[in-house]
Structure 1
Amino acid sequence: MFLGTHTPRLDDKGRMFLPAKYRERLASGLVVTRGQERCLYVFPMTEFERIATSMQSTPTSNRAVRDYQRVFLSGASDEIPDKQGRITVPATLREYAGLTHECTVIGAGSRLEVWDTSAWTSYLAQTEQSFADQAEEVVPGLL
């Protein structure tokens, strides 16, 4: 499970160090793709394969399904971290997420999310109060 918040930087070549605590789990391969709210999703290869396989069972007769699959899969980039634990984030994905130099990587359970730090700060400021105010209807019986 991926947890926590980390603040790596992108270098001039679009490379980013993966947080050290996740490197072993991602060493054999990962997939970076577009996520919601203009962040990037980073999945271990096995998790991405599970998701892609599940997508194949969705009805492609539904335009929303086709649109989602196209955007999600066309942006996907499979990567193997280098010996120093860096991955290259493709230019199209950096542009999509507005990544420049300062990044925030958050653990989101089965995936990591990569955010431009200012975008993450804004998102968190907008959603923290509603998180604090949520009642049981969001995740019934959890806590």
Structure 2
Amino acid sequence: MADMNTDREVIEGALALIEADGGWTQGTYCRDAEGNQVRPSVDSPGDWVRVRTQHVGAGGYRERTEPVAAPCSFCLGGALRTAAGYWHSGQPYAAQMQVDRLELLLVRLANSANAMDWPNLDAFNDDVHTTAADAVLMLKRAAAHVDA
């Protein structure tokens, strides 16, 4: 069983993912280079699948997945999960506890810095006024907080 990353390592890993060219997204945890939602493969740990949603009429939708996708942009929550190894580790519950703790820290920092009241990290990330620069700034503030 691999050792878990420290909080600082997870934040630095998430920061590296977000700071990459086009590395931040809204609306879903992870997207591929074409902007499609991707998620971990259930059948093949360590791999990712592209999610395709098709409208089938009368307000119905069908979802299918395609193999061989790779995420290249992440929301803040997706970046934290990826950096913590949540989707591909042998310790998903421990990673989830760490991610939950770091998400709470980021929301607290975002709310205090902007005098807002986002209920969770997804709300901050997906706010129409939030930018990639805001996401980077929150991760840098979290790193400084962890160091303090």
The alignment's TM-score, normalised by the length of structure 1, stands at 0.27
**Which structure is higher in RCO with an 8 Å CA cutoff and minimum separation 6?**
1
Q: TM-score when scaled to structure 2?
A: 0.26
Higher helix share: 2
